[in-house]
Structure 1
Amino acid sequence: METTEQSMPSDIIPTRNYTSASEKSLWWYIKRTNKDYYGVGNGKSRYDGVWPQAFRTRRSYSGFTTRGYEQREMWTQALRITLGNNNDIGALVLINVRTVQGDLPDIPVIRTSLSGCRVIGRMCVGNNHGLLVPEAIYDTELDHIRDKIPEPIQIKKIEERLSALGNVVVCNDQVALVHPELDKESEEMIEDTLQVEVFRHVIANNPLVGSYCVLNNNGGLVHVDISQTDLEDLSSLLGLPLIPGTVNYGNKAVAAGVAANDTIAYAGMKTTSREFLAIEEAFRLPGRG
């Protein structure tokens, strides 16, 4: 990982939620030697190799060789991030193009709004097959997204009284959970556009399944208060391993603070080390050496 000025996004700040002794030491050096931590200076650290970007990624130690166990540093793909000092990145995902595009060089990152609203993570729902947006989307916004989105992916407007789609639908590329009171026409459009099998469900007795569950194609993170029986039933229904958890220091609305695909996950800067462990286990993210 290079530590150049260009690769250090200005919106990344250190957090005290360090996850190892070495990370605690690194935070100590950042606080005392990096002018950028205090919002002044030219962004360069006086301590070579220490900069706020290092705090975006948890570090763990594991590995095996032919001679037995060998401890070595591995980087997971669960990253801390804040957008405009807001840790609800599941609601605001895709606003900060520069930071996100640097992590996802092979995926188009679109800066947009929906109906003039920036909480786009709560307003739309999609996967690798399609994207559904609310009927109230402005034509200029729709045209902009269509220009940027890869051609095989369909984008369709959906007329649904439960218009905050991200709160009432959660999906991956195979299955979707939806609010029990979603219109039948909306359910059919979700099936056709996203090419998924749809199940009406609640999570921890809450119908806002999109707020209390985040899925990728490897697993999912769900509301921490779900019972063990319901967890097992839901996991069997989806055909995915599910992990209960919270984000941002105890927030049970996991979708507000986490955004994930099959290779990377973002969590708010308040997310603790214990919460990170659940996130990494839930989404089964690949490590990077």
Structure 2
Amino acid sequence: METTEQSMPSDIIPTRNYTSASEKSLWWYIKRTNKDYYGVGNGKSRYDGVWPQAFRTRRSYSGFTTRGYEQREMWTQALRITLGNNNDIGALVRLTNSYFLVGGEDEAENFCRTVQGDLPDIPVIRTSLSGCRVIGRMCVGNNHGLLVPEAIYDTELDHIRDKIPEPIQIKKIEERLSALGNVVVCNDQVALVHPELDKESEEMIEDTLQVEVFRHVIANNPLVGSYCVLNNNGGLVHVDISQTDLEDLSSLLGLPLIPGTVNYGNKAVAAGVAANDTIAYAGMKTTSREFLAIEEAFRLPGRG
């Protein structure tokens, strides 16, 4: 039976997987090779081979000219990726311009090697928080600091402090809304927080992250960290935000904001996207139409 919008969960909306005829063919090819060529239990990575890698980076473009068939390179800084077959990249990592925290155990090794190649100038730090790997859900940070939950293990805290660049501050925060990544979203200048966040937590966010803090909701939802992703150039927000609210929030933050979804229609954009000022990662299910919004939202630089 064909999947319809009515049969899907309320936070998922279906969307097309491609933006051109050439990418439609590539999308079909990637699904075919994942199923038939790579198979199950054969020990191969989905990133083995030229075409799967081209699909991840969205950088290969084939076309026809007056001289006939031509293969050209078209680079983008918004990349498809998965961690341990999990497309919720934003929930598993914390990416800033100065460091990249990655949750996970053995399955994170190849992931870290891949992103370190993309980001050679910043440390990629494998860790956990209180034994959990959902890094993006449990901490919040920027170029100035990193806030971690009070329950973090001493060994985890020491490991992060040993790897993270100076003079970034790392502080533990005791907050009843303990999933910090769900209730706080920030860049290097401003932060949005859950309206019911403790006053002491708000002051610590201001002091440690050196940002101006605003209590706000997005599309009538207080989980601002789940429904918004910011860098210093712009942001991606819940697709159901009204035009009036979008303009008001954009004016408040001083940033251009773009409504969108990730991972084939998921409205919880922070679950599927991690971004800084130069690069963005999204789950492998993220469609080309969704990538257009991601690239526009974060104003990522191109490279040739």
When the two structures are superposed, what TM-score results if normalisation uses the length of structure 2? Answer: 0.78
Whole-angstrom CA distance in 2 between matches of 1:201 and 1:62: 45
Distance 1:152 1:45, change over 3 A: closer
- Contact (CA 8 Å) 2:12, 2:267: kept in 1 or not? no
SS at match of 2:121: coil
Distance 1:4 1:264, change over 3 A: farther
Higher mean alpha-carbon deviation, 211-220 vs 266-275, is at 266-275
Shift of 1:64: 18
Q: Deviations over 1:75-108 (max 9, x none)?
A: 11110011111111100xxxxxx22212111110
Q: Deviations over 1:235-268 (max 9, x none)?
A: 0000000000111111110000000000100111
Distance 1:3 1:195, change over 3 A: farther
- Contact (CA 8 Å) 2:15, 2:264: kept in 1 or not? no
Q: Deviations over 1:144-163 (max 9, x none)?
A: 00001001111000011111
For 1:139-178, list aligned pairs within 5 A.
139-178=154-193
- Contact (CA 8 Å) 1:213, 1:254: kept in 2 or not? yes
Q: Deviations over 1:26-73 (max 9, x none)?
A: 556667789994158999999997342111122488999999999964
Quick one: percent identity of the two aligned structures? 100
Shift of 1:216: 0.3
1:81 maps onto 2:94 in alignment: no
Distance 1:278 1:136, change over 3 A: same
Q: Deviations over 1:92-129 (max 9, x none)?
A: xxxxxx22212111110010110001101000000011
Distance 1:68 1:174, change over 3 A: farther
- Contact (CA 8 Å) 2:58, 2:76: kept in 1 or not? yes
Distance 1:64 1:139, change over 3 A: farther
Distance 1:42 1:105, change over 3 A: farther
- Contact (CA 8 Å) 1:14, 1:52: kept in 2 or not? no
- Contact (CA 8 Å) 1:36, 1:44: kept in 2 or not? no
- Unaligned runs of 5+ residues in structure 2 are 92-112
- Contact (CA 8 Å) 2:77, 2:280: kept in 1 or not? yes
Shift of 1:288: 1.6
SS at match of 1:41: coil
Whole-angstrom CA distance in 1 between matches of 2:46 and 2:194: 52
Whole-angstrom CA distance in 2 between matches of 1:54 and 1:14: 24
When the two structures are superposed, what TM-score results if normalisation uses the length of structure 1? Answer: 0.82
SS at match of 2:294: helix
- Contact (CA 8 Å) 1:19, 1:59: kept in 2 or not? no
Which residue number corresponds to residue 95 of structure 2? Answer: none
Which residue number corresponds to residue 94 of structure 1? Answer: none
- Contact (CA 8 Å) 2:11, 2:268: kept in 1 or not? no
- Contact (CA 8 Å) 1:11, 1:82: kept in 2 or not? no
Q: RCO (CA 8 Å, sep 6+): is it higher in 1 or 2?
A: 2
Distance 1:65 1:153, change over 3 A: farther
Q: Deviations over 1:2-41 (max 9, x none)?
A: 9999999999999994544334445566677899941589
- Unaligned runs of 5+ residues in structure 1 are 92-97
Distance 1:103 1:53, change over 3 A: same
SS at match of 1:61: strand
SS at match of 1:243: strand
Whole-angstrom CA distance in 1 between matches of 2:14 and 2:51: 9
- Contact (CA 8 Å) 2:12, 2:265: kept in 1 or not? no
Query: Once superposed, what is the RMSD of the aligned Cα atoms?
Result: 8.0
SS at match of 2:30: helix
Which residue number corresponds to residue 277 of structure 1? Answer: 292
Which residue number corresponds to residue 227 of structure 1? Answer: 242
Whole-angstrom CA distance in 1 between matches of 2:44 and 2:14: 15
Whole-angstrom CA distance in 1 between matches of 2:281 and 2:244: 29
Shift of 1:287: 1.1
Whole-angstrom CA distance in 1 between matches of 2:216 and 2:184: 10
Q: Deviations over 1:154-181 (max 9, x none)?
A: 1000011111000000000000000011
